[in-house]
Chains A and B, each alone.
Chain A
């Protein structure tokens, strides 16, 4: 069976769904962060797949940037989580409601 674009997209879709579910249902901030990364990479995978199909390198270049930014973002988010933990001794997002209106 030849691997086709559809397969890549199905895998990307599954990854995205798994990530989204994790973001919605989990309470641990670090797990939520990891799930976010999962969703991001699902999108990256889809981009690379389309890039191959269209024989256009732009998609892959875009993914490079996305990964770079995601790395920086992950660093910032981890730093925030650590800071919050130091303050409140918890990483449970249910207990973080300072932004309540």
Chain B
């Protein structure tokens, strides 16, 4: 780790700030402590890796990571060094959780308690995501919100974690079953790796099968069958005043005409018409092979035969103009008068 970090620092020095990115990063890391000198103490503690004790002063590119398993932070190079060969226990004294490298992520908040609370809230909000419109009364909704908050604080403060986790899992599964009835129902198993601060041991994915028996015997993980029974007992996702979920109606096939159709008034289309001048086209294989359908021709010909038969231009056009302008008849005289005054009204001219 130190070699790598040293190499990086050396790179920056050798460049002499040639690359703009590394230069700006360098400036950023230099300026940060100097700008807030009053918080220098807090900064120095937050800028020193608790594992390898290397500080940001020596290694400006240092980045801290944490694992949501135990929320202990350490620098990137420590993570590389300790966990690159597989899962290992947390190097912080007193914490014996087994961590894996993939779970490490960057720190968003300086205060790790906040970081953890945000994670928990995220998880709860994913399950308890009802809205006011889903409830019959505001009162029921408020009750529901209180339940959600209670669950959240139980998890944050570590009160009754086991039961709360099981409840959450139950709700999640019941909602999943409701939204997607075809999904295969998983057996309810509180996976301890997702719980953040349970006091029981860690079950690894690799050795999960071997250790499951041990874990369940220790009483930390509830028996799957027992939890299933409980699910039925608790009737899953039940809140007072919650409206029943109505799945949205299946989408109709796309209609390019937006529901409009042509209903001819004056003719009824027949299946086939037999006229001498059509036989040539009908029997021509080159027309049939191309997918030409005589019905298209029939419907179009008949539609054009009667389209506009009841449209009387000498009545409809003046009526339309009356509507639009309010000026009834523009006689020849008025038009002539208008034309002499106006320059180019009706004559569009490109030149």
Q: Is B truly associated with A?
A: no
Which B residues form the contact surface with A (CB < 8 A)?
A: none
Which A residues form the contact surface with B (CB < 8 A)?
A: none
